[in-house]
Amino acid sequence: MNGKIICINKFIHKVLLTNNTIIDTRTRGKLRNNNINPVVGDNVFVNIETKTIEKVYERKNYLERPLIANIDKLLIVMSTSIPVFSPYLIDKFLIIAFSNDIEPIIIITKTDMISIKEKLEVKKYINYYRKLGIKVYINTSVKKIKHEFKDSVVALCGQTGSGKSSLLNKIDASLKLKTGEVSLSLGRGKHTTRLVELLEVNDGLIADTPGFSSLEININKKDLKNYYPDFNKRCKYRSCSHVKEDGCKVIKLVEKGKIPSWRYENYIKFMEECK
């Protein structure tokens, strides 16, 4: 019977079957037929009798951190207070989402902890992301966020302490996920969430994943621009990397203020990080 891996704990792979029951399967290491290591999110064929996974179906996408496959939407949970608001991290997660064919959705948290002046500052960034066609919600818009989960496999990402587990608890109180205090001394909280697990919520599946802050972009320099919807311009050279070429329209737009300088500066930083 077909199903989806919702949790892996040592050798036990929990599979949600198409008949809506959950079965514990024991699979050791890679599958013989395609040499694949099953991960959470994998669509699989289970032999009900032997309780083993016999096949892993082709993946739509695959993330290594968190280790998960077949994600439809990536909720980028971003705090405006502690941890500090970071358009750099948002841009990084957007690249990861776009390069893996995942719809990014930005969720802003802790706006109750900042001043009106700081809110206006954050609003500038939100407006730009919305202009790019990216959905941005404040974490208090629970109803709207809930709607995004329907019939989707959703992953959450964002720094530890940004409010991922708190958000999920608001969406479905029965989840009772552990939430942690942010450790002020380190400026980053301890990772409260350990296991990668898909949880059934609102007719969809959600991954509550360990928080992560340092994430490497595994993209070639020349491909990076493809994940910038706002950089899709016809420059003088088709291969223009928008860094210092003559007749670069992106650089022109930055000079004119049509593309904000922070957005462009982040791009330059990522170019340096890419191979």
Residues 237-252 as b or e (16 or more Cβ within 10 Å = b): eeebbbeeeeebbbbe
240 binds, among Zn ion, Mg ion, ligand GTP, none (CB under 5 to 8 A by kind): Zn ion
Q: 43 near 13, Cβ under 8 Å? A: no
* Residue 110 binding ligand GTP, by CB under 6 A: yes
* Shortest Cβ 167–Mg ion spacing (Å): 9
Given the rule CB under 6 A, which of 121-129, 186-194, 240-248, 259-267 is the region that contacts ligand GTP? 186-194
User: 192-221: which residues touch ligand GTP (CB under 6 A)?
Assistant: 192-193, 211
Candidates 61, 100, 169, 192; binder of Mg ion (CB under 5 A) is 192
Q: Which is nearer to Zn ion, 171 or 248 (CB)?
A: 248
d(CA 247, CA 273): 25
User: What count of Cα atoms within 13 Å lies in the side-chain half-sphere of residue 240?
Assistant: 18
113 binds, among Zn ion, ligand GTP, Mg ion, none (CB under 5 to 8 A by kind): ligand GTP
Instruction: Say which residues have a Cβ less than 8 Å from residue 73's Cβ, sequence separation at least 6.
Output: 102, 103, 104, 105, 148, 152, 153, 154, 155
271, burial (CB in 10 Å: exposed 0-12, middle 13-18, buried 19+): middle
Candidates 159, 193, 209, 266; binder of Mg ion (CB under 5 A) is 193
Q: Which is nearer to Mg ion, 86 or 193 (CB)?
A: 193
Instruction: Say which residues have a Cβ less than 8 Å from residue 214's Cβ, sequence separation at least 6.
Output: none
Question: Can you give the binding site for Zn ion, defined by CB under 5 A?
Answer: 235, 240, 242, 248, 250
* Shortest Cβ 209–Mg ion spacing (Å): 8
d(CA 11, CA 9): 6
Q: Which helix (H) or strand (E) holds 94?
A: helix 87-99
* Shortest Cβ 88–Zn ion spacing (Å): 21
User: What are the residues binding ligand GTP (CB under 6 A)?
Assistant: 109-110, 112-113, 139, 158, 160-166, 179-182, 189, 191-193, 211
User: What are the residues binding Mg ion (CB under 5 A)?
Assistant: 164-165, 192-193
